[in-house]
């Protein structure tokens, strides 16, 4: 096999990766969902078919909450500011309607404008709702709460900030919904306290849900696909994507113990985390022309007259920083989605972060990581480059055989195999070692693509953000030049068609990488430069050895 095909293997693997991403985005088959029963529920004279909550383990639960229309009603806002969050809570349902991440600017040209993760605008919706369901009276996300203040700020020296809203009915049922914000934390505690002032038992459930619209064109990353949609976690199924198409096709209805649910997007996640060791009913809804809903309902609680009871959960609203996610719950780190190569990507990310601890620059950390990976695969690469060097040395003789037996392919193959056997060269020797390394390179690709740590991370000179394209296209040009140089170090392809393909590859890849994040292109340039040096040294050594022996 011609060793020029080694580069084609890399090119093919990368193109296949892009094709697989596009296929996952548009044609991945939906997973089967359990059968769902429905019942009619009347809310403000609007009837909507919704999934019924099963009788076990959440016994005799009322139907899951109903979305009335696409326009989210408001009863006034409460402004909450901490050191990392700028949030708005609507008195209608005490929903969390808007969250800005103060430490994450929209982009480097708008450093004073924080990234808005949650919002309820006309074009885009991502909100967190929670409420109670009870035949004895309870506030859902349509109820109107009251609060003592319109603005809350985390005071200097305080570690926590509590925002309490209250609701009550004429029967003596009072519900106090409390949000607890903490310093330097994206975890928000949510508690419903039920004070039963009536003369009968209060029985009910708590629900938590996320509402989200499909991502618009302005939210999608050009040329690179990253998943946006719902996910759930269970100890049985582990990490499972519930995308918008699945929600359209089937309403989820599943009992999960010690799980959680989330809406994720590139770099950021919003997740409801219920208490562990409790079984919740998970559900989805996809009303026409309305935001999609992913939610869960708690087991039933009973509060006797004159007594109090409470439901509590946590809400994570922030970046997919793996250290932070791990402190919340280890399984939440799965929202940093490395795909099927997670087993390789996780140690790569671990090594990259430790290098960054020493260098304090993600660009240089990528270069050092690339060097370490090349050293780990040095023996495999050496075998590959030795094979290529020997094939290059034999290129004139191979060309002569092809010309001599151009009309007899069987005789041509036989003569070439005799030549390889005589020179003790394995024509596959250059390809197989490189194929072994491809999964590692693809895993590193996902690490650089998925890690929020790369977002707005500077390198040097003109590279101010490794997560976006090189503004002057210098790195893609260097990558194209390095591919061209590598080709010159390889034996020339005897087949004219293959030679044209090889000549076109540097230009094609330069165009591809011109729009890729600078961090990914930096890795490829560093890998190519190190490979060129390694291949040049080995090729010179082989040529010198045979020259001395000749």
Question: Which of 278, 305, 337 lies at the terminal end of a domain, its last residue?
Answer: 337
Q: Are residues 423 and 397 in the same domain?
A: yes
Q: Are residues 378 and 431 in the same domain?
A: yes
pLDDT in tens, 281-314: 999 998 777 899 999 999 999 999 999 999 999 9
Q: How far is CA 521 from CA 20, 226, 256, 500, in A?
A: 20, 18, 42, 24
Q: Are residues 502 and 421 in the same domain?
A: yes
**Is residue 97 one of the residues assigned to a domain?**
yes
Those residues with Cβ within 8 angstroms of residue 427's Cβ, 6 or more apart along the chain or in another chain: 1, 2, 3, 387, 391, 420
Find the Cα–Cα–Cα–Cα dihedral 123, 516, 19, 450, rounded to 10°: -70
* Domain carrying residue 500: 5-18+346-549
Q: What tokens appear for 229 in the block? A: 């949609």
Q: What is the pLDDT of residue 1?
A: 38
Q: For residues 138-176, b (16+ Cβ closer than 10 Å) or e, as one string?
A: bbbbbbebebeeeebebeeeeeebebbbbbbeeebbebb
Question: Which of 337, 358, 381 lies at the terminal end of a domain, its last residue?
Answer: 337
Q: Are residues 400 and 303 in the same domain?
A: no
Give the residue, 319 or 399, on which the prediction is more confident: 319
**Is residue 388 one of the residues assigned to a domain?**
yes
Q: Are residues 387 and 519 in the same domain?
A: yes
Q: Are residues 104 and 213 in the same domain?
A: yes
Q: Are residues 394 and 497 in the same domain?
A: yes
**Is residue 144 one of the residues assigned to a domain?**
yes
Question: In which band, very low, low, confident or very high, does the pLDDT at 197 lie, cut at 50, 70 and 90?
Answer: very high
Return the closest-CA partner of residue 99 out of 187, 214, 159.
Answer: 187
Q: Are residues 153 and 190 in the same domain?
A: yes
Average model confidence (pLDDT) for the chain?
82
Q: Give the sign of the dihedral formed by CA 432, CA 438, CA 441, CA 443.
A: negative
**Is residue 281 one of the residues assigned to a domain?**
yes
**Number of domains comprising the chain:** 2
Q: Are residues 322 and 466 in the same domain?
A: no
Q: Are residues 264 and 214 in the same domain?
A: yes
| Beta strands 202-212 and 125-133, pairing class | antiparallel
Those residues with Cβ within 8 angstroms of residue 31's Cβ, 6 or more apart along the chain or in another chain: 240, 246
Return the closest-CA partner of residue 332 out of 315, 347, 349, 348.
Answer: 315
**Is residue 266 one of the residues assigned to a domain?**
yes
Those residues with Cβ within 8 angstroms of residue 426's Cβ, 6 or more apart along the chain or in another chain: 387, 420
**Is residue 28 one of the residues assigned to a domain?**
no
Q: Are residues 322 and 376 in the same domain?
A: no
**Residue 32, φ and ψ in degrees, nearest 5:** -70, 145
Helices (runs of H) and strands (runs of E) counted in the chain: 11, 22
Question: Which of 301, 317, 337 lies at the terminal end of a domain, its last residue?
Answer: 337
pLDDT in tens, 375-434: 888 777 777 777 766 776 777 787 788 778 877 788 888 887 888 777 777 666 556 556
Q: Are residues 319 and 415 in the same domain?
A: no
């Amino acid at each position: 096999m011609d060793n020029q095909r080694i580069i084609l293997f890399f090119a093919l693997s990368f193109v296949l990766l892009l094709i697989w991403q596009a296929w996952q985005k548009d044609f991945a088959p939906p997973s089967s969902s359990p059968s769902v029963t429905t019942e009619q529920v009347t809310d403000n004279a609007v009837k909507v078919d919704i999934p019924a909550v099963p009788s076990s383990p959440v016994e005799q639960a009322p139907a899951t909450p109903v979305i009335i229309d696409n326009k989210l009603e408001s009863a006034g806002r409460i402004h909450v500011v901490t050191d990392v969050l700028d949030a708005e809570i609507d008195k209608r349902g005490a929903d969390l309607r808007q969250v800005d991440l103060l430490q994450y600017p929209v982009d480097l040209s708008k450093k004073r404008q924080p990234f808005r993760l949650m919002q309820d605008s006309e074009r885009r919706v991502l909100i967190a709702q929670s409420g109670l369901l009870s035949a004895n009276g309870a506030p859902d996300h349509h109820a109107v709460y009251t609060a003592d203040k319109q603005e809350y700020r985390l005071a200097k020296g305080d570690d926590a900030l509590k925002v309490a809203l209250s609701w009550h009915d004429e029967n003596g049922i009072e519900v106090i919904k409390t949000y607890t914000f903490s310093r330097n934390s994206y975890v928000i505690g949510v508690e419903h306290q039920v004070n039963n002032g009536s003369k009968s038992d209060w029985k009910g459930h708590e629900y938590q849900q996320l509402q989200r619209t499909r991502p618009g064109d302005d939210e999608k990353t050009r040329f690179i696909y990253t998943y946006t949609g719902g996910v759930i976690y269970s100890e049985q199924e582990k990490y499972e994507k519930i995308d918008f198409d699945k929600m359209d096709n089937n309403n989820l209805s599943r009992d999960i113990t010690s799980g959680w649910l989330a809406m994720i997007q590139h770099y950021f996640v919003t997740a409801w985390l219920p208490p562990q060791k409790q079984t919740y009913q998970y559900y989805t809804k996809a009303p026409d022309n309305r935001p999609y809903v992913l939610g869960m309902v708690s087991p039933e609680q009973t509060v006797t007259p004159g007594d109090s009871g409470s439901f509590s959960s946590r809400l994570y609203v922030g970046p997919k920083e793996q250290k932070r996610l791990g402190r919340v719950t280890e399984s939440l780190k799965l929202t940093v989605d490395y795909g099927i190569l997670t087993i390789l990507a996780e140690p790569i990310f671990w090594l990259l972060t430790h290098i960054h601890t020493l260098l304090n620059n993600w660009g240089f950390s990528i270069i050092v990581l690339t060097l370490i990976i090349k050293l780990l695969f040095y023996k495999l690469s050496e075998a590959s480059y030795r094979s290529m060097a020997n094939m290059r040395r034999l290129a004139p003789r191979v060309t002569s055989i092809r010309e001599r037996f151009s009309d007899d392919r069987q005789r041509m193959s036989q003569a070439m195999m005799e030549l390889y056997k005589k020179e003790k060269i394995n024509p596959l020797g250059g390809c197989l070692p490189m194929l072994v390394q491809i999964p590692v390179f693809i895993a590193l690709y996902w690490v650089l693509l998925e890690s929020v740590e790369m977002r707005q991370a500077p390198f040097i000179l003109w590279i101010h953000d490794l997560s976006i394209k090189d503004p002057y296209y210098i790195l893609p040009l260097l990558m194209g030049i390095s591919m061209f140089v590598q080709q010159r170090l390889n034996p020339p392809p005897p087949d004219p068609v293959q030679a044209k393909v090889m000549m076109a590859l540097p230009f094609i890849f330069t165009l591809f990488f011109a729009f890729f994040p600078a961090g990914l292109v930096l890795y490829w340039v560093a890998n190519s430069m190190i490979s060129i040096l390694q291949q040049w040294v080995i090729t010179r050594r082989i040529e010198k050895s045979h020259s001395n022996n000749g």
